[in-house]
Amino acid sequence: MEAHLQDLRVEVHDDALAEAVRRDYRAAPVDSATRAALAYAEKLTLRPAEVGVEDVAALRRHGWSDRDVHDLAQAAAYFNYINRIADGLGVDLEPDMPPRAG
């Protein structure tokens, strides 16, 4: 999670915004289209079997193109995949990252 937070900081150039999104994207100062994209990514991560055409339609209503939705799904799926590979192999965190809980 910390590595992804650092990636977000680099992308948005705003440490406070990145931290607000990390804490709770629902309360973070982002526009409704971004909030919808974050909700989609969360659902795809936590409840992938529940994601369907209605979720894509909701993103379209917020102005996301089919290509945008595709890219969002690819990015969320990739981060989920690579995190599971790292966790499953017991990959050590980078030296400057805080230790894992537990």
Q: What is the pLDDT of residue 97?
A: 62
Tell me the Ramachandran region of residue 62: left when phi exceeds 0, alpha when psi lies from -120 to 50, beta otherwise.
Answer: alpha
- Which domains, and CATH codes, for the chain? 1-29 (no CATH), 31-92 (1.20.1290.10)
What average pLDDT does the segment 15-43 reach? 93
Do residues 37 and 72 touch, judged by C-beta distance below 8 A?
A: yes
pTM: 0.80
H, E, C per residue of the chain: CHHHHHHHHHHHCCHHHHHHHHHHCCCCCCCHHHHHHHHHHHHHHHCHHHCCHHHHHHHHHCCCCHHHHHHHHHHHHHHHHHHHHHHHHCCCCCCCCCCCCC
Q: What is the pLDDT of residue 14?
A: 82
